[in-house]
Structure 1
């Protein structure tokens, strides 16, 4: 943005989401002087900054929803929002693939998203390192647990200098352990974690973007067109009361608990990820064994 003149010979501008100020001599100051705090131009720029930060969070949240819920996205929509820096920051360098005939990602035509144009389609760097255009009408941003050779992809991304604004390739993933009882209705790898106060557990869940409802941290999911939610028990006593976490479960529409054998790889990974993030804030025990207690084999 250009510099905007304000009182006392000062000028202000917006650098990203930060308000900058320079004095009459043209020197940029470390912070906006207190006497300009209520200046109309400073207030206007601060309000704009707050809106931009909120817009950026909303864009990231929407793209995260596309990723976690395996939702097909019109390529034209991506092209329309691409000029917006907030959208581009969330989308650029994500692995993108056309929707295949089976409704899943066509992995053979996948690549890192580098450009989007309404007339020319999506520009990608494919997995051979070539710059090509996708002419697909709809695309998917595959969840990393669905990507074959994930470690190789991560290495290739590092070679390309890929910097994803949203965790995709380097998102924590938890493949289903082979020892899972398919008929069981809950997973207890993260149960019995102590929190000095229930509000510590709920605050940690909400800080990572999860809702808390009825004593559970909840993550809404969609896999193969079926709506699910993962629910991790935190407790339902007073906010200041001591609590211990319980089991992780998955529910279908209507609240029916889903047998673990029916939970797909994305829903499993994201549910366990939620439980692990909350569990990490527990009260530590000296005798606690920190070695991969969940047995889930994080990649």
Structure 2
């Protein structure tokens, strides 16, 4: 909840004041009382329109920040410390980065996972501050930082426990992101059928779920591209390509390289496999599930 004192009020018509609170318009009357809703004439004023435009821009900015940080994580990209320092001053950028597991990176782009911790602060002189596994604050100065994918974090369970003890949350899903590893039996396969035969009453429903989850659909496949070890691989999960109103069944999960050739599961990077399965599992979870006779009795 945003405190009234934290709202930046701007002058409105008839001596009213208007501001934004959690992305919504709020106002005070000339006596300084905050009203439950805006009068119609104030809601349609130029000041209100300007603030609504600002709120939309802030939403887009927040989304862009989150997606950028998530892209850094999915690609395990080293981020120059100069960039981190520049964006940290922006509250929305800071919200997206704060509490993420990070590791210092040397001049050759190699991360030092022994100094991994939860990002808490950034300073132009001291570098970046993290809470380590002992719960102590440590400052590191390096050329860059890495936001590793959780499947690459050796102390993931311990860091999850630490975050829980400190009641720390993350804007970008990293610590508690589902991670998946192939079984020995899957290593020689070029497709996974664990998430096949999921039923959706309409293809429209499946497509809608894909959009909400952030997975583009092309040629009947939900897709997730991952750049790992300087190679792009695309996970593809079949959701249907018939009429939008027709019933559809999910199919195989496959991985293809830039040449559109299927890649064996055993040849995939750890992040690529994990993210592909995460996509398929999330979509499959939205399928139509029939009640068993025992449950409906």
TM-aligned CA deviation for residue 262 of structure 1:
0.6
1:21 to 24, 27, 45: 27
TM-aligned CA deviation for residue 250 of structure 1:
0.9
The residue matched to 1:253 in structure 2 has which SS?
A: coil
CA distance in 2, matches of 1:274, 1:101: 34
CA distance in 1, matches of 2:14, 2:236: 57
Name the residue aligned to 1:294: none
Q: Is the 8 A contact 1:187 1:247 kept in 2?
A: yes
Q: Is the 8 A contact 1:174 1:268 kept in 2?
A: yes
The number of equivalent residue pairs is 287
- TM-superposition CA deviations, 1:133-158 (whole Å, max 9, x none): 22111221111111124222211111
Q: Is the 8 A contact 2:106 2:142 kept in 1?
A: no
CA distance in 2, matches of 1:179, 1:250: 17
TM-aligned CA deviation for residue 215 of structure 1:
0.7
Q: Is the 8 A contact 2:85 2:124 kept in 1?
A: yes
Q: Is the 8 A contact 1:183 1:259 kept in 2?
A: yes
Is 2:92 the counterpart of 1:86? yes
Residues 152 and 120 (structure 1), Cα distance of their counterparts in 2 relative to 1, 3 Å cut: closer
2:239 to 234, 239, 245: 234
Name the residue aligned to 2:4: none
Spell out the pairing of 1:147-166 with structure 2 (5 A cutoff). Answer: 147-166=153-172
Residues 244 and 99 (structure 1), Cα distance of their counterparts in 2 relative to 1, 3 Å cut: same
Name the residue aligned to 2:250: 245
TM-aligned CA deviation for residue 86 of structure 1:
0.8
Name the residue aligned to 2:290: 285
CA-atom RMSD in angstroms: 1.8
- TM-superposition CA deviations, 1:151-202 (whole Å, max 9, x none): 222111112232211111011122222331x221101100110111111111
Q: Is the 8 A contact 2:107 2:143 kept in 1?
A: no
The residue matched to 1:176 in structure 2 has which SS?
A: coil
- TM-superposition CA deviations, 1:206-254 (whole Å, max 9, x none): 1011111111101110112211111101111111111100101111112
Structure 1, gaps ≥5 residues long? 289-299
Structure 2, gaps ≥5 residues long? 1-6
CA distance in 2, matches of 1:164, 1:232: 28
Moved over 4 A (4+): 100-104
Q: Is the 8 A contact 1:80 1:117 kept in 2?
A: no
The residue matched to 1:266 in structure 2 has which SS?
A: helix
Name the residue aligned to 1:137: 143
The residue matched to 2:138 in structure 1 has which SS?
A: strand
CA distance in 1, matches of 2:289, 2:56: 37
